[in-house]
A and B are shown apart, each in its own frame.
Chain A
Amino acid sequence: MALLEIKNLTVSFDTSVGLFHAVKGIDLSLDRGDVLAIVGESGSGKSVAMLSVMGLLPRTAKVSADVMRFDGTDLRELSAHDRRRIVGKDMAMIFQEPMTSLNPCFTIGFQIEEVLRFHLNLDRSARRKRAIELLTQVGIADPESRLRSFPHQMSGGQNQRVMIAMAIACSPKLLIADEPTTALDVTIQKQILDLLMKLQADTGMGLIMITHNIGVVAETADRVVVQYKGRKMEEAGVLELFEAPKSPYTRALLAALPENATGDRLPVITAFDPETAAVR
């Protein structure tokens, strides 16, 4: 059984100028130990799709799906209370901006231990021990004193490590990383990606990596979903995708990469009709 299974996911927003469809009928499926990358340009609905899985969309969002199952639980029918038991524990998410994604008013320690208390009911000293363990695991030096630090006292890369520590605190089955390195320098990006891949390999959790950076896809994913204007263009194994992209959109995307440039001008993606460019 797939860890996460989604069929025909549609998300629309009630905006002042009418209904806006951000995600239009996406299918996804992910097994334990899988690394799935979702690529697509800005606004193509990558984040919205995953936020809907987490149940983190604002109230203005309308989510519908034929199937939306996580580890045997139907996410569509879940009460808010039951969802909270899963979210943050079995299914965790990290975000793009490490600086703003941590609460500036509380220490790192507080924010990590909070998850442990809520989901695992650990007592004070156990929480502390585990928090130190987690910080060590994500490669933060001097974890004991770092627990007392506030987010603004640390760098972006360190904060992203803390975010990761928080996400893996309860050994989730699925980790969704929404552009976890976009805000970081390449050297830091490398470290964070390496860390994520190592953790994934060590724990065998499912990992969904949202990104718009083709390079990151190439360096991390097993399988890739290409999304465009709310639709899935194609889904393929990573090698397949790079070797023989099926959708014209994917082809154009890869061609636009400067490193793939052949002439002295880059091939330009013209407007695609997402309906016809999609490959099922």
Chain B
Amino acid sequence: MVAVVEARALTRDYNVAGGFLSANRVVRAVKGISFTLEAGKTLAIVGESGSGKSTLARILTLIDRQSSGELRLNGEPIDIGKAPVTKALRRKVQMVFQNPYGSLNPRQKIGDVLMEPLLLNTDLPAQERRDRAMDMLVKVGLEPQHFERYPHMFSGGQRQRIAIARAIIMRPALLVLDEPVSALDLSVQAQILNLLADLQDEFGLTYIFISHDLSVVRYIADEVMVMYLGEAVEQASRDRIFANPEHPYTQALFQATPKASISAIRARLAARSGHANVTG
């Protein structure tokens, strides 16, 4: 089975303009990331703010160019700095963003949002585009009458559904999801996670799922990569990582994640009353 994505030592430098008289600084936001991801699988990337998750996502979705390293999609090496992104290539990778309120053009009707990728990347006739978009709309759990509405008429969860619909309407080989549920309430989060699972089953999608919420990661991922300061400090299957985190940072992350298990609550309450006794 050929890997959908293959990354070899990807790095990304940002030139941060220094002040006047001081030289430009180079910030290396992603430092030599390598991984391979097979079709139909989900790779979760966790890490705290500024660890380079989004930067990596932008490279993988061909928005930004890597500073060095090699990226292969379906075995094909890709460097958007050398050759412009072709339509065919564009169709292979899509993305869903964290903020459901910012990722939809407020002046674009939902129908147009969904049809835009088709318009730009395929030669389908208008009616066909419309039909495909309508299908997709229903598939993500919205209704046909929503087609002519504007984004601001939808709730966050609905918007995230639209964003997902737009991303998968091209049947991409790879879908990069940058914290797609972080902004959502628990109940809505569950719906979206379910939807993603449904779609993966139906279309055999490959996901790269970025998150900082370990419970979500544990639920959805096959593989997990932990990023810290631009580096992948640990990379393993979900079960291995959750069972036995090796890197100290991973351990710290697990340690810090609040646990909602009853045993944990019991333990805390016990400690608390003991503590209260001591001080009181």
Direct contact of A and B (CB under 8 A): yes
**Residues in A lying within 8 Å of B, measured CB to CB:** 33, 41-42, 185-190, 193, 201-202, 212-219, 222, 238-239, 242-243, 252-254, 256-261, 264-269
In the complex, A184→B279 CA distance in Å?
A: 30
Query: Contacts A219-B264, A268-B191 given; 6 further ones with Cβ under 8 A?
Result: A201-B276, A215-B260, A242-B265, A256-B186, A261-B219, A265-B197
Between-chain CB contacts (< 8 Å), 9 pairs: A185-B49, A186-B212, A202-B279, A212-B185, A218-B264, A222-B272, A242-B260, A253-B186, A259-B260
Q: Is the CB of A190 within 8 A of B259?
A: no
Tell which of A214, A239, A260, A267 touches B269, judged by Cβ atoms closer than 8 Å: A239
Q: Is the CB of B253 within 8 A of A186?
A: yes
Q: Is the CB of B265 within 8 A of A268?
A: no
Q: Is the CB of A186 within 8 A of B193?
A: no
Q: Is the CB of A218 within 8 A of B193?
A: no
Q: Is the CB of A265 within 8 A of B194?
A: yes
Q: Is the CB of B253 within 8 A of A252?
A: no
Number of chain B residues whose Cβ lies closer than 8 Å to a Cβ of chain A: 37
Is B252 part of the contact surface with A, judged by Cβ < 8 Å?
yes
Tell which of A185, A214, A218 touches B212, judged by Cβ atoms closer than 8 Å: A185
Residue of B nearest to A183 (CB): B49
**Residues in B lying within 8 Å of A, measured CB to CB:** 48-49, 185-187, 189-191, 193-194, 197, 212, 214-216, 218-220, 252-253, 255-262, 264-266, 268-269, 272, 275-276, 279
In the complex, A180→B187 CA distance in Å?
A: 21
Residue of B nearest to A237 (CB): B269
Contacts of B191 in A (CB 8 A): 268
Residue of B nearest to A191 (CB): B256
Tell which of B216, B252, B259, B266 touches A219, judged by Cβ atoms closer than 8 Å: B259
Residue of B nearest to A44 (CB): B185
Q: Is the CB of A269 within 8 A of B190?
A: yes
Contacts of B190 in A (CB 8 A): 256, 258, 266-269
Contacts of B261 in A (CB 8 A): 218, 259
Tell which of A185, A222, A268 touches B194, judged by Cβ atoms closer than 8 Å: A268
In the complex, A269→B194 CA distance in Å?
A: 12
A255 smallest CB distance to B (angstroms): 8
